[in-house]
Structure 1
Amino acid sequence: MHTDPATASTEPVVPPAARPEGDGDPAVRTVRRALIIFNRNAGGGRKVARLDETVTRLTEAGVEVEIHLTSFAGDAEQTAHAARFLGSGPDVVICAGGDGTLNEVVNGLAGGDTPLALLPIGTANVLAAEIGLATDIDTVVDTIFHGRPVPVHLGMANGRYFTLMTGVGLDAEVVASVDRKLKRKTGKLAYGLATLKRWSVYRDHHFRVTVDGMEHRAAGVIVANGHYYGGRFVCAENARITEPGLHVCLFQKPGRWQAIYYMMALFGGFLDRLNTYKVIPGRDIHIADDRDGPVQGDGDIITQLPLTIGVAPETVRILMPRG
């Protein structure tokens, strides 16, 4: 584990910009120690300045900051999990990365009391959109000190937690085929190229989907825990991460051009008006196929088919912005 600590006073902290004028502000959280889990490759590695500015703001406010730079798959999860059981652990864990890094951190913190704050520096930052967190540093730092720690309900796919969604079909194949080096350099362009690659070899196909005992067939499936997908595009209008329950999005019609039409409908905001698209609430979901296939969760590949999905009994406390 590589750490780069920056230490200061251990007195309870009220950031200078938020010091109350009266007898005190009960909304200000006490933050003495913060652990930042930083994926330097997130957002193409172009956003180190955002991390530096956040660290400067925290240390100037008297917070003892430790930075952990992730170096391998699963590193963020292990680090977050270890932080839960430290006797003098951090008052807050800050995830500086994208949704994939957040997935790891959530898997490390789930079921514990340590609050999680977001420093969004990824490609899509869907979870930040889901909780209404603006990505400017003023809002991020304000949320660390003033944010409400709200229990967020999680889904579970083959034993692994997800916060936003899990899926099979074209979207999972795209995630599996993204060139990681190109992603670090170009961000969303890498996804566009991977989509063209997978679309060019697309073959009509159906998955067997069982939702709470009812059987369905679909060319692609997204099981949503939140209502945004791929940024601020709405996939499941009624899904909320603060409520227990999942929404199974069935793309029922196969076909290469149909896949393009589904994407256009998603980006254009009329997906829910298609008669070949259906959203079904569910808690016990099974997806099967005659072949192995990748399963994406929160934008990274997390497991393989066959797939069992359910509502996790654990939650994670995420700091929500004010307003």
Structure 2
Amino acid sequence: MIRRYAVILNASAGGLIGRDMDAVAAEVVARFAALGVTATVELPQGREIDRAVQRLRDDAATPDAIIVGGGDGTIAHAAQLLAQGGPPLGILPFGTLNLLARDLGIPFALEDAIAALATATPRKIDLGDANGVPFCCMATLGLVPMLGRVREKQRGMPPLVAWPRLAGSWLRALYWDPKLALTLEAGTRPRKMRTRGMGIAVGAYMEGRFLQRASLDQGVLVAYTARHRSRWALLRFVIDLATGRWAGDPELDIVSGTALTVQTHRKRLAVMLDGELVRMRTPLEFRVRPRALHVLAP
């Protein structure tokens, strides 16, 4: 039976900026056709992307899968809509980190990604939930949301300009003294701490890998809190994180549970959900939603 895929491409994704989108769409259709898959491609922009996913999800002639091409934020928005039901979500990775695509084993090269999706099978994976908002991989507090605001300002800049500026922002962030004071509750005695950064992941990350999970249906959230007292220790941790040697860091606090609560004296807190910056009321209530999302996995 011939599969029918509906493909949505976000032209604003980092890997698509500056490309001829009509040519990319034609290439996607042709490569899927060569593998026996009928694909239609849409090129919505901004909020129209969410509306396109919702329309395809609710269409009486539902496609066999909705393939979304973009970065982590675009994928997260599509996942929020498809967690409510509908066909499986497939990913064409065009972002910077492509976290969920990396976890699912989807190649980053367009030709290889299409080949993988053409023969992929549906499976269910866990989602996280932050104050009622679903996310796929990780919610971050502290430094990362702050740097996210810098990255948004640099969107569309040439890489030779954007990356040095982002690196400079990281270095300046090491001198960011106002640590975030918070209380973490995970079904045990509340833990009070001060941190420059916390990440709450949907499942544990593998030692020796850069932000890659061993399993996507662990049914647990894991909070990673950087409690480094010196700037040099924090810089060393960032380097260890990039090279996959982070697990043995004595100043990295790791707590897991099916539900986590983060309390702080601030009424609202900046939170990065899979690359999307949002401001949320506190306390922040996190929970895992087991096997809530249907995806295509090679």
Among 54, 75, 78, which residue is 2:28 paired with? 54
Match of 2:274 in 1: 298
- Calculate the TM-score normalised by the size of structure 1: 0.79
User: What SS does structure 1 have at the residue aligned with 2:127?
Assistant: strand
String of CA shifts for 1:181-210, please: whole Å, max 9, x gaps. 445532655543442343344423432211
Q: How does 1:49-198 map to 2 (within 5 A)?
A: 51-59=25-33, 61=36, 63-72=38-47, 75-182=48-155, 184-186=157-159, 188-189=163-164, 191-198=166-173
Higher mean alpha-carbon deviation, 241-250 vs 163-172, is at 241-250
String of CA shifts for 1:164-185, please: whole Å, max 9, x gaps. 1001111121113324344553
Among 30, 35, 55, which residue is 2:6 paired with? 35
CA contact 2:68–2:92 (8 Å) conserved in 1: yes
String of CA shifts for 1:261-305, please: whole Å, max 9, x gaps. 321221232211111112222111111222233100111213325
1:135 to 1:182, Cα distance in 2 relative to 1, 3 A: closer
Higher mean alpha-carbon deviation, 94-103 vs 277-286, is at 277-286
CA contact 2:139–2:200 (8 Å) conserved in 1: yes
- Calculate the TM-score normalised by the size of structure 2: 0.85
User: What SS does structure 2 have at the residue aligned with 1:80?
Assistant: helix
Match of 1:289 in 2: 264
Q: Can you give the 5+ residue segments of structure 1 that lack an aligned partner in the other structure?
A: 1-11, 14-30
Per-residue deviation at 1:98?
Answer: 0.8
CA contact 2:8–2:42 (8 Å) conserved in 1: yes
1:293 to 1:190, Cα distance in 2 relative to 1, 3 A: farther
Q: In structure 2, what is the Cα distance between the partners aligned to 1:148 and 1:188?
A: 36
Per-residue deviation at 1:95?
Answer: 0.8
User: What SS does structure 2 have at the residue aligned with 1:203?
Assistant: coil
Q: In structure 2, what is the Cα distance between the partners aligned to 1:194 and 1:160?
A: 28
1:56 to 1:86, Cα distance in 2 relative to 1, 3 A: same
User: What SS does structure 1 have at the residue aligned with 2:50?
Assistant: helix
Per-residue deviation at 1:40?
Answer: 0.8
CA contact 1:42–1:184 (8 Å) conserved in 2: no
Match of 1:23 in 2: none
Q: Can you give the 5+ residue segments of structure 2 that lack an aligned partner in the other structure?
A: none
1:189 to 1:145, Cα distance in 2 relative to 1, 3 A: same
1:283 to 1:183, Cα distance in 2 relative to 1, 3 A: farther
Which AA in structure 2 matches 1:320? A
Equivalenced residues, count = 286
CA RMSD of aligned residues (A): 2.6
Identical pairs, percent: 22
Higher mean alpha-carbon deviation, 47-56 vs 128-137, is at 47-56
Q: How does 1:206-221 map to 2 (within 5 A)?
A: 206-216=181-191, 217-219=193-195, 220-221=197-198
Q: In structure 1, what is the Cα distance between the partners aligned to 2:6 and 2:166?
A: 31
User: What SS does structure 2 have at the residue aligned with 1:280?
Assistant: strand
Among 202, 205, 217, which residue is 1:242 paired with? 217
Q: In structure 2, what is the Cα distance between the partners aligned to 1:316 and 1:204?
A: 35
